[in-house]
Amino acid sequence: MSHPYRIGHNKLSDTSPINDPLINQLAEKYGKNPAQIMLRLQLQRGIVVIPKSTNKQRMKSNMEVFDFQLSSDEMEALLQLDKGEAGRTIPAEEIKNHK
């Protein structure tokens, strides 16, 4: 899954996973927001996620992903959204010499 790089500087594109209809349907089903669905997906895959935020409401929201589980069918459907290299929102050249 790509991540919304520089949200404050760049408008999220229509192709961002956060705008995907499936993620939004699952968010509605579970009473969560799209970011929580994406976090839960990674956690259920055994991937450690470290969301960054200084916003207290978002920090609280990021912790509210342990009270539901995605089904195996939902997980599979979400994994099909992966666009590989084409889905990256951070061009490698842009971060190559980042300090």
Using one digit for the tens of pLDDT, what is the confidence trace for 15-65?
Answer: 678 889 999 999 999 999 999 999 999 999 999 999 989 999 999 999 999
**Are the C-beta atoms of 70 and 40 separated by less than 8 Å?**
yes
Least reliable range by pLDDT among 16-20, 30-34, 67-71, 77-81: 16-20
Kindly provide the b/e burial profile for residues 19-50, where b requires at least 16 CB atoms within 10 angstroms of the residue's own CB.
Answer: ebeebeebbeebebbbbbbbbbbeebeeeeee
Confidence at residue 3, expressed as pLDDT on a 0 to 100 scale:
46
Top pLDDT among 78 and 6 is at: 78
Confidence at residue 6, expressed as pLDDT on a 0 to 100 scale:
43
Rounded to two decimals, the pTM is 0.73
